[in-house]
Amino acid sequence: MRISRRGSGISKDTEILLVEDSKFIRVAVQRALTRAGYIVHTASDGEAGLLAARKTLPDLVILDLVLPKTSGLEVLRALKQDALTRNIPVIVLAALSEPNKEELLNEGVAACVEKLGKLFEGDSAALIRTVAQVVAQSESAERKKNLSGKTLS
């Protein structure tokens, strides 16, 4: 999480990597997240997504499961096995026919958002709420980790 102080307030510039092969969905989600104040990087296939995650070390990854070159599930597993990226929370965009939520949570996914038509027809409120919740949980976990590493003298 990048935090910069501007004036009297604190501005958080949360960076999100969106890995989605459908240009329509990628653009729609990118616009919604950008309007909500997030910095969004994109990748259109699994291979590019893995490279981008390792290069940019985003605060959050939003991942489609059905991707060319490297599947979303393979990307997820690679991210969770890599020491550089294992702590980056991942939200999966999933269609109903894809693995169920419980299986994905067991793989280390922070949340799942179903790919519903209205999600991409301007009603992205559910996705934005989920992103905000996952980012807040990640920030809280990071603060606790930082505090537990400090000792009192």
- Confidence at residue 97, expressed as pLDDT on a 0 to 100 scale: 52
Q: List, for residues 23-70, the tens digit of each pLDDT value.
A: 988 998 999 999 999 999 999 999 999 999 999 999 999 999 989 999
pLDDT for 6 equals: 30
- Number of neighbouring beta carbons within 10 Å of residue 118: 10
Predicted pLDDT at 136 = 87
Which helix (H) or strand (E) is 41 found in, with range?
strand 39-43
pLDDT (tens digit, 9 = 90+) per residue, 96-127?
555 577 788 888 899 888 776 555 555 678 88
Which pLDDT belongs to residue 127? 84
Parse the chain into domains and list their residue ranges.
2-148
Report the candidate in 16, 14, 30 with the shortest Cα–Cα distance to residue 62. 16
Quick one: fold of 2-148?
Rossmann fold (3.40.50)
Rounded Cα distance, 45 and 19, in Å:
7
What is the pTM (predicted TM-score) of this model? 0.81
pLDDT above 70 covers what percent of the chain? 76
